Amino acid sequence: MIATQLLYGLLGVALFALGVRGTLADGPFLRRVVAWNVAGAGLFLIFVAGAYGGAAGADPVPHALVLTGIVVAVSATALALALARRLKEAARDE
């Protein structure tokens, strides 16, 4: 179903664009981290949509990539949150 593929693909592109915009925009750090995750989710969606093969079965490689990507994104988010907390403590100490 090419329509399904296109729908998810475009959705992914939209999420990516929104997320990047949110990450680059001024705003609370937490908001930017969440926005970055949204953008990442958009990319993963593009990958998975591209792997959609209809009756022929899906291409497994992008799924493996997305799984790895999710792990990377979780770690990066953890690091960002830890930093944010450390900064808050440092600001309170001063």
Partner 1 sequence: MSDLLVWVVALPLLGAIATVAWPRQGRALGVATALATLGAALGVLAQVMDGTSVHHELGGWSPGLGIGLAADGMAAAFLAMTAVVALAVSIHATAYFAPGSRREGFWPLWLLLWAALNALYLSADLFNLYVTLELLGMAAVALAALGGGRAALEAAMRYLVVGLVGSLGFLGGVAILYLTYGSLHLGTLAAALEANTATWGALVLMTTGVLAKAALFPLHFWLPPAHANAPAPVSAALSALVVKAAAYLVMRLWLDLFGPAVTPAAGMVLGTLGAGAVLWGSWQALRAARLKLLAAYSTVAQLGYLFMFMPLLMVQAPGPARNAALGGLVAMALSHGFAKGALFLAAGAVQQHAGHDRIRDLGGTARALPATTFTIALAGVALIGLPPSGAFLGKWQLMAGAIDAGQWFWIPVVLAGSLLAAAYVFRLLGHAFGPGERANAPFAITIEAPALVLALLATAALGLGAAPLWPLVGGLGAPS
Contacting positions for partner 1 (CB under 8 A): 16, 19-20, 23-24, 29, 32, 36, 39-40, 43, 46-47, 50, 61-62, 65, 68-69, 72, 75-76, 79-80, 83-84, 86-87, 90-91, 94
Which residues fall within 8 angstroms of residue 22, CB to CB, at 6 or more apart? Answer: 31, 32, 34, 35, 36, 38, 39
C-alpha 22: how far from chain center: 12
CB 49 within 8 A of CB 10: no
| Cβ–Cβ < 8 Å for 22, 31 | yes
- Which of residues 55 and 72 has its CB atom nearest to partner 1 in the complex? 72
**Least distance to partner 1, CB of residue 55, Å:** 19
Q: Which is nearer to partner 1, 55 or 94 (CB)?
A: 94
